[in-house]
Structures are given as C-alpha cells and as structure tokens.
Structure 1
C-alpha cells in the first residue's frame, strides 16, 4: 500500500486541488491535521463545508484518512472539551476520521483526534489500547503533534514536544506514526522530517510554500518513505 502523507494544509485550496489529482496515483491519502485555518478571513464554518467537499472528492478516488489538528476544533463536545465536530459529521465509505481504525491488508491504520483536556486525552488512550488488540503485521497512526524526544518537534528556535504521544509510542510500539504541526521542522537546524523512537518510525512532512505541498509517500510493502520538500527530496529505507 502506498500512502500519500501530508498535513497542515490550512485551507490552502491550490494544495487541495493538487491533492485531488495526486490521489489517483496512491492507495490512500493521510491528512494529519490542520485541514482548516483559524486565522483565515473565511469563516470557520464555511471552510469546513469547502474542505468536506474536497474530502468527498478524494474519497471517491482512494481511501482517505483525516485527523484533526488544533486549527480544526470548532466548539466543545458533550464533555466540555474542544472537538472537531464538523470532521466527525463527514461520511463516506472510504473516509476515516478521528477515533477510527481500519485494516487494509496487513496494515492497521488508526486516526487519532487532537485532544483538548483530560477527557479527550483519555479517549485517545482508550482508542489506542483497543486498536492494539490483535494487531496485524503493521500498525500506522495519524496524530497531529510530533512526539517528545524527536527533532520533529523543533522549529529552529524552540521545541514543542508531546510527551503523551511519546509515552503511547513506548507502550504500544507502532511501526509508524504520521505527524505534522511543526511546519519548519524538516528545514530547521536541529529538525528533521523523520526520526525513530525505539522501533517506531515517526514522520513530519512539514509545510512550505509552492504549488505542490510538502509530502511523504509511505510504501508499506517496500517499507520505504519518500519525502518531497519543494526544493529538495529524500528517500529512506525503513527496514
């Protein structure tokens, strides 16, 4: 399975247009958070309608996985913590969003939401514990923020570590975790687009200007990762 991985589109519609075209060349598309943009002049609810339309177009072409990021939250859930309710309302047989897992061949794909407090954090912990049962040969997570202990959370000046994710990785040891959130990481001094925590590969494609978004193609059969960084690219053998 070839998975096209990117994050932090932030309502940049030319990048969504490129993604629709590129989706026909892969087996799955993984968008790892910040599909919309809270600082855009376009109202958040309008962005959600437009992005939902794009997700439908993508799902007509290939399997789509979409995890929420901090920009995607649109109000409190029943527990009072912020959630991306608009993303939960999307519906298509080949579209997976927050809280869902699916097995494709020998690979399990798990989509984690952005959590806002102890209740939603506990929900992610329970989700991962449930998905760990009878796991197949490979297990890949989508989780917007990169884990502590890796250069993926470094923007060149500061680090923004997610210790909870690092702890969950240590507990469950997935094969790969797809992240985003820190736009500059692949190009920053001390940053990177890839790292390892134990046996787990962690990726952050980054965000950059240009007609083609920064992205990674993860091949779960060949077990390789190809990164495209607009002005540079790299191929990594994961075995």
Structure 2
C-alpha cells in the first residue's frame, strides 16, 4: 500500500489541486488536520463548502482519511466543546473523517479529532481503546498535534508537546502515527519529520511554500517513508 501523507493545507487551493492529481497514484491519502484556515479572508463556512467538494473529488480517486486540526473547528458539539461539525457531516463511501476507524487491507486507520476539552479528550481515548480490539497487522493513527518526547513538536524556538498522545502511544503501541501542526519542524534545528517512540514511527511532513505541498509517501510493501520537503527530500527505511 502507498499512503500519501500531508497536513496543514490551510485552505491553500493550489495544494488541493495538486493533490487531486497525486491521489490517482496512491492507495490512500491521509490529511492530518488544518484543512481550513481561520485567518483566511474567506469565511470559514465558505471554506468548508469548498474543501468538502475537494474531499469528495479525492474520494472518487482513492481512499481518503481526513482528521481535524485546530483551524477546522466551527462550533460546539453536543457536549459544548468545539468540534469540526462540517467535516463530520461529510458522507462518502471512501472518505473517513473524525471518529472513524477503518480497515484497508491489513491496515487499520484511526482518525482522531482535534479535542478542545476534557470531554472530547475522553472521546479520543475511548476511540483508541475501541480500535485496539482485534487490531490487524498494521495500525495507523491520524492525530494533528505531534507527541511529547519527539523532535516533531519543536519549531526551532519552542516545543509544543502533546503528552496525552505520547501516553496513548505508550498504552496501545500503534505502528505509525501521522501528525502535523508544527509547520517548521522538519527544517528547524532540533526538529524533524520522523521519530520513534518505542516501536512506533511518528511523522510530520511540515508545511512549506511552493506549488507542491510538503508530503510523505509511506510504502508498506517496500517499508519506506519518502519525504518531499520542497527544497530537500529524504528516504528512511521502516
């Protein structure tokens, strides 16, 4: 299986256009949060309509997994904490969003939402525990913020660790965790685009300028991760 991984598109439409072509060459696309952009002059509800259209077109080409990030939240859920309600409403057979766990071949993908408080945090913990039951040969998480204990949460000046994610990784031991959120980490001193926590690989492709977004191609047959960082690239064996 070839999985195209990227995050933090932030409503950059040329990157979505590129993704439409790239999606035809892979078995799955994983977008790990911040599909929209809260500082864009385009109203958030308009962004949601446009991004939903792109996601639908992508799902016509391949399996699509899309997790929310902090820029995607658009209002309180039933519990009063912020959620990406527009993303959760989308319905396509090959589109899997916040709260989903889906098996594709021998790989289980678990798509975690951005959590805004203790109730949504608890929901994520329950989601991961449920998805751990009868797990197949490979388990991949989508979770926007990178975990504590890795260079992926360092932007060159400060570190933004997610200890909850690190604790869940220690508890469940997924094979791969896909993250984003810290845009500069792959290029920053003390940062990086890949790391290990125990036996778990963690990846953050980063966010960069240019017509082609920073991205990672995971190949589960070749057991490689190939990072494209716009001005540089790197391949690691898994």
Partner of 2:20 in structure 1?
20
Partner of 2:78 in structure 1?
78
Counterparts of 1:151-162 in structure 2, within 5 Å, are 151-162=151-162
Asked if 1:51 corresponds to 2:56, the answer is no
- Quote how far apart the aligned CAs of 1:206 are: 0.2
- Quote how far apart the aligned CAs of 1:127 are: 0.2
User: Where do 4+ consecutive residues of structure 1 move more than 3 Å?
Assistant: none
- Quote how far apart the aligned CAs of 1:220 are: 1.6
Partner of 1:88 in structure 2?
88
Counterparts of 1:179-218 in structure 2, within 5 Å, are 179-218=179-218
CA deviation vs aligned residue, 1:169-195 (integer Å, no higher than 9, x gap): 000000000000000000000000000
Unpaired segments of 5 or more residues in structure 2?
none
CA deviation vs aligned residue, 1:23-78 (integer Å, no higher than 9, x gap): 00000000000000000000000000000000000000000000000000000001
Partner of 1:111 in structure 2?
111
Question: What root-mean-square deviation, in Å, do the aligned CA atoms of Structure 1 and Structure 2 show?
Answer: 0.4
TM normalised by structure 1 equals: 0.99
- Quote how far apart the aligned CAs of 1:222 are: 1.9
CA deviation vs aligned residue, 1:153-211 (integer Å, no higher than 9, x gap): 00000000000000000000000000000000000000000000000000000000000
Partner of 1:150 in structure 2?
150
Tell me, in whole angstroms, the C-alpha distance in 1 between the residues paired with 2:191 and 2:226.
Answer: 17
Partner of 1:237 in structure 2?
237
Tell me, in whole angstroms, the C-alpha distance in 2 between the residues paired with 1:223 and 1:72.
Answer: 32
Which segment drifts farther, 187-196 or 216-225? 216-225
CA deviation vs aligned residue, 1:99-121 (integer Å, no higher than 9, x gap): 00111111111100000001000
Tell me, in whole angstroms, the C-alpha distance in 2 between the residues paired with 1:19 and 1:215.
Answer: 10
TM normalised by structure 2 equals: 1.00
- Quote how far apart the aligned CAs of 1:223 are: 1.6
Unpaired segments of 5 or more residues in structure 1?
none
Number of residues of Structure 1 aligned to a counterpart in Structure 2: 238
